[in-house]
Amino acid sequence: MAFTDLHFFSTALQVQVSVWVILPEKSMGIGVEAGGEATLPQVLYLLHGYSDDHTIWLRRTSVERYAAQHNLAVVMPAVNHSFYTNEACGERYWDFVSEELPNAVQRFFRLSAAPEDTYVCGLSMGGYGAMKLALTYPERYAAAASFSGAVDIADMSHRTGERLTNMQRIFGDTDAVAGSDNDLFALLERDRSAPRRPRLYIACGEDDFLYHQHKKFWPAAKEAGFEVTHYEKPDTGHEWAFWDEQVKVFIDRYIR
């Protein structure tokens, strides 16, 4: 895979941003099989968690090898602690990741823009971001995945201490999160009549501190009419071995 550290000026954020992008090549080198190049590469938007940044997926997983077999480009943006949201007291990260980023990807790279070739997934906070993108714009994505996702943001907004302060900075009145555009459960209800919806993959370890959110979210998505596959792994917490395993599962299962 080719690797690009893309820097450009974000009008949404009013600052230079860095986005890591890996791009498929016909010849990948010793020990790495390459997918075909007959068509424009498909695109996976891969989102980081609360404690990391856009570099973490290449540092902690083998996603580059997994993508190589599927003629798949992988786009990894950085959003700090924003929960992929236009912050109440901060920056417009939702505008950046939902509108400006895909437009920039199309402007700078020769990749497919077709919904059937576009995917999004993420871990923890990034799992929330992936589901928010897929549920807000269901017509844009073929499939979306959450790994150990913070998928019940109303529950997250009632943390204490520093986390509560940060949630208030991001979302404002935390009592108003439920039912808002930031609430995945509200978005599920809104999408019941959507003519085109992505397939969803939702995975979590049974020892994860977010497992109770996973147990609540995937049945709600299924009840709302989405095609949902969920996976729960025993004796597994919030950990990279699980996320490395699951990003491979998602790519192999959903990327055509």
Distance CA 224, CA 138 (A): 13
Answer whether residue 36 shows pLDDT above 70. Answer: no
Q: Please state which of the ranges 34-38, 42-46, 115-119 shows the lowest mean pLDDT.
A: 34-38
Answer whether residue 75 shows pLDDT above 90. Answer: yes
Q: Enumerate residues 6+ apart whose C-beta is below 8 A from 94.
A: 82, 84, 85, 86
Residue 145 CB-half CA count within 13 A = 28
pLDDT digits (tens, 9 = 90+) for 40-51: 999 999 999 999
Q: Enumerate residues 6+ apart whose C-beta is below 8 A from 5.
A: 18, 19, 20
User: Do residues 65 and 32 make contact, with C-beta atoms less than 8 angstroms apart?
Assistant: yes
Of all helices (H) and strands (E), which one includes residue 104? helix 101-108
Q: Enumerate residues 6+ apart whose C-beta is below 8 A from 102.
A: 45, 113
42-47 vs 118-123, strand pairing mode: parallel
Distance CA 212, CA 155 (A): 10
Higher pLDDT, 25 or 222: 222
User: Do residues 196 and 190 make contact, with C-beta atoms less than 8 angstroms apart?
Assistant: no
Closest alpha carbon to 99 in 30, 12, 41: 12
pLDDT of 12 reads 98
Q: Please state which of the ranges 35-39, 46-50, 191-195 shows the lowest mean pLDDT.
A: 35-39
pLDDT digits (tens, 9 = 90+) for 136-164: 999 999 999 999 999 999 887 666 677 78
Give the chain's domains with CATH numbers.
Answer: 2-254 (3.40.50.1820)
pLDDT of 26 reads 79
pLDDT band at 256 (very low <50, low <70, confident <90, very high): confident
- Cα radius of gyration (the chain): 17
Find the mean pLDDT for residues 245-254: 98
pLDDT of 161 reads 76
Sign of CA dihedral 111, 112, 113, 118: negative
Answer whether residue 204 shows pLDDT above 90. Answer: yes
- The alpha carbon of 44 is separated from its chain's Cα centroid by a whole number of angstroms, namely 9
| 3-state secondary structure at position 143 | strand
Answer whether residue 21 shows pLDDT above 90. Answer: yes
pLDDT digits (tens, 9 = 90+) for 123-137: 999 999 999 999 999
